[in-house]
Chains A and B, each alone.
Chain A
Amino acid sequence: MNPRRKQRLTWILVLVVGVSTAIGLMLYAMSQSINLFYTPSDFVEMEQGEKTPVVGQRMRVGGMVVDGSVERNRDTLEVKFNITDTGPEITVLYQGILPDLFREGQGIVAQGELIEPRVLKASEVLAKHDEEYMPPELAEKMKGIKHVNPNNPVDDSYNSSGDGQ
């Protein structure tokens, strides 16, 4: 490679490395703001640190819906459930229609206002799904779970505990 091309190549490499470093440091510094939600473990961490979440604060919390924690009101759309990640639990209160994928054990993200130190009154509940895709028969064999076809939720065994549709 002739010296002029080599010089241009060096400049480009310096540019790319410089910009990557700058953006990398920026993203690292902002990482807590880039996270879409806090996990229940983040809560414990924050309570021990300085940034204790205060009652009235608006935030997003995400985790798995705890098995057996879902309580539905028979007459209204009110629902209450706990979410967890690795131990601590946060209670979520919500009034409205839950996404089709909502079920016990499912990852969800709730956005709302903290009304007690560990209770969130959600204005929006979003369902997360994982990166696994498989036909229902395979899922039953591999995971021993009989999941519901969201396009046909009538045979949802889970509904029997709630509105009994």
Chain B
Amino acid sequence: MWRWLHPYAKPEATYRLVDKLLPWFAAFTVVSLAVGMIWGLAYAPADYQQGDSYRIIYIHVPSAIFSMAAYFAMAVMGAIALIWQIKTAEWAIPAIAPVGAAMTVVALLTGAIWGKPMWGTWWVWDARLTSELILLFLYVGVMALYYAFDDVRTGAKAASILAIVGVVNLPIIHYSVEWWNTLHQGATITKFERPSIATSMLWPLLVSLLGFKLLTISLVMMRFKNELLRHELHRPWAQKELSADKELSDGV
């Protein structure tokens, strides 16, 4: 059943696939991000309570969602790396972690910028904000562990275990606003009922979500390509790839 996946345990096959897909993802990222941002920030109607300040939702919500989604993807890669001991899965961890950490930072910063005018404070130690901050620390921890060992594979194993254990934090972030009293409001779109946002505001948000999703994937792909090349530098295919790309070979 999973036989079609087998070639991608080979770094070269994975590199070819990512190389082929990346331009498409990059192009659709630019289009959907541009449409989502311009639509949301300039054309969507203002909110009845928050006026124009709510527009930061078009950056805050997508970055927060994909900070969590990227973490989950990283943990899945960690599990594959531990169980099947596939090297390409190990290399995906350092490719994903900084991108996810950047998304977390964006979510925390935009949240603070939104919180000051609306709530009246930059930061409050409520369950939602604190658990999202812990997510950032988990990312930092995974990166630190990965690079902490002289032997790369030992580091990858340690980082995988931390990534998998840290998954416990994801439901805590999501349900924090339901389980406890928080200053942060409940979920608007990530629930089973109808989204509690007007349709004219929902559509640009969905486009922004798509844009951030593609952005996250594209950035991870770019980093993953570099990881593949870095680990396979001594292989003929990687050397050929590098010498073919003049700019890259000048840089290295």
Contact = CB atoms under 8 A, between A and B. Distances in A.
A114 B182 CA distance: 21
A88 interface: no
Nearest to B161: A15
A35 B176 CA distance: 10
Interface in A2-32: 5, 8-9, 12, 15-16, 19-20, 23, 27, 31
B118 A100 contact: yes
A128 B119 contact: yes
Interface string B24-55: 00000000000000000000011111111110
A56 interface: no
Contacts of B53: 150-151
A8 B187 CA distance: 36
A147 B167 contact: no
B48 A147 contact: yes
B183 A16 contact: no
Interface residues of A, number: 45
Contacts of B83: 5, 8-9, 12
A74 interface: no
Contacts of A19: 165, 168
Interface string A121-132: 000111111111
Given A16-B168, A36-B181, A39-B181, A136 B48 contact: yes
A131 B187 contact: yes
Interface string A35-59: 1111100000000000000000000
A133 to B, nearest CB: 4
B106 interface: no
B45 A135 contact: yes
B23 interface: no
B22 interface: no
Contacts, number: 129
Given A36-B181, A130-B186, A138 B119 contact: no
A88 to B, nearest CB: 16
Interface in A123-165: 124-136, 138-140, 145, 147, 149-152
A20 B167 CA distance: 9
A49 B51 CA distance: 43
B48 A134 contact: yes
A8 to B, nearest CB: 5
Listed residue (A27, A132, A133) with the most chain B CB atoms within 10 angstroms of its CB: A133
Nearest to B181: A35
17 contacts: A5-B83, A15-B165, A19-B165, A23-B172, A34-B180, A36-B127, A36-B181, A99-B117, A99-B118, A128-B183, A130-B196, A131-B186, A132-B188, A133-B196, A136-B47, A145-B48, A150-B118
